Amino acid sequence: MTPPDLPPSLAALGDRLGALPREDCDAPLFKEPWQAQLFALTVNLSEAGHFTWSEWAATFADELARARAAGPNTADTYFDRWLAALQALLAAKGLAAAADITRLHDAWQDAYAHTPHGQPVKLARV
């Protein structure tokens, strides 16, 4: 089995992004589906022209530095930092107000907490 061909923009992404943290070379890169979705969303927003990859990298580096001051960055916290950086960049670019991001985050947490195990999480309109 061979991996599918990647679009040129994603094939070159590794060169722009650098290494993602991996605890085990045989382990999947993304531990949770939301991590892969977050990664794809960031790439798509950049490719759509909402921000440059350099802007993203600088914002993410700033977030990692802030987090490092509070404690070590690990593979378990990497995508939490990624999410925080994307939220900050969306707010800075006026693409999403910080209050809207917080409200949506809280709504997802509430929906998740009140969804029976094994059932899909359904988010009411916010």
Kindly report, residue by residue over 41-53, the tens digit of the pLDDT: 999 999 999 999 9
Give the mean model confidence (pLDDT) for residues 82-109: 91
Mean pLDDT of 89-117: 90
Is the model's pLDDT at 7 over the cut of 70?
no
User: How confident is the model at residue 28, as a pLDDT?
Assistant: 65
Q: At what angle do helices 53-70 and 75-92 cross, to 10 degrees?
A: 130
In this predicted structure, the answer to whether residue 3 has a pLDDT above a threshold of 50 is: no
Average pLDDT score over residue span 11-40: 68
Q: Is 26 exposed, middle or buried (0-12, 13-18, 19+ CB in 10 A)?
A: exposed
8-state DSSP, 70: H
Any residues with CB less than 8 A from the CB of 87 and at least 6 apart, and which?
96, 98, 101
* Confidence label for 112 from pLDDT (cuts 50, 70 and 90): confident
Q: How confident is the model at residue 26 (pLDDT cuts 50, 70, 90)?
A: low
> By percentage, how much of the chain surpasses pLDDT 90?
42
